[in-house]
Every structure is written in structure tokens, then in C-alpha cells.
Amino acid sequence: MVDNLFKNLPDTLDEEVFEDLLTGNNVRVERILSHGQTTPRGEWYDQEQHEWVILLKGGARIGYDNGREISLEAGDHVNIPAHCRHRVTWTDPQQVTVWLAVFYDPAN
């Protein structure tokens, strides 16, 4: 079956949308849609798995608990090691931002 990551993108979102596209023994691929949403203040992602993420459309910023912040635009990708505390500090409020995240086991 063929599907498309850009099919049926909403014009606005009240909250982020997380959709698993593929799951396996030690890997999960997820599409994330954002439209101006951020991680709530004081909350951090601190995951058991590594996360490789690519921004396919839109723009975003990721902040780390050490104070570092990175900006992402379409085509940019980053690998976030397991237990590296991070949060989304900004997503484009003018368009839907499309992320593709690959979560994988640090032992592999």
C-alpha cells in the first residue's frame, strides 16, 4: 500500500498529532504534525530510545536542558541520544510543520 506523508494535512491544529507509521522490535517511525505548538513549560522529553528526527516541512526549534537551542527548517535532521532531555520551544504558527521521527534502541 502506498501512502503519502503530506496527504490530508490540516490547515490548523488545536494540538500536535502523533501517528505511528511503522513499529518493529527495536524501532518505531512516527509522523508528527505541529502548528505553533510547543512542549509545555517545565516539561522535557527524556526517552529510553535514541531519536533521529527530520523536519520535512515548516520550521521548529528544539531546546536542550543545557541551554542549547537549535533551529530546524525543511530537510534538517538531528539525532537525539537516549536520555538527552529536550523540548520543542517553537513551531511555525503560519503553516503545518511535518516531522518524521525514528526511535531506535541504543543497544543496536
The pTM is what?
Answer: 0.90
Domains and CATH numbers, the chain: 17-104 (2.60.120.10)
Going by the DSSP 8-state scheme, the letter that residue 76 receives in this structure is -
Distance CA 29, CA 104 (A): 9
Per-residue pLDDT tens digits of the chain, which is 108 residues long = 888 999 888 888 899 999 999 999 999 999 999 999 999 999 999 999 999 999 999 999 999 999 999 999 999 999 999 999 999 999 999 999 999 999 999 775
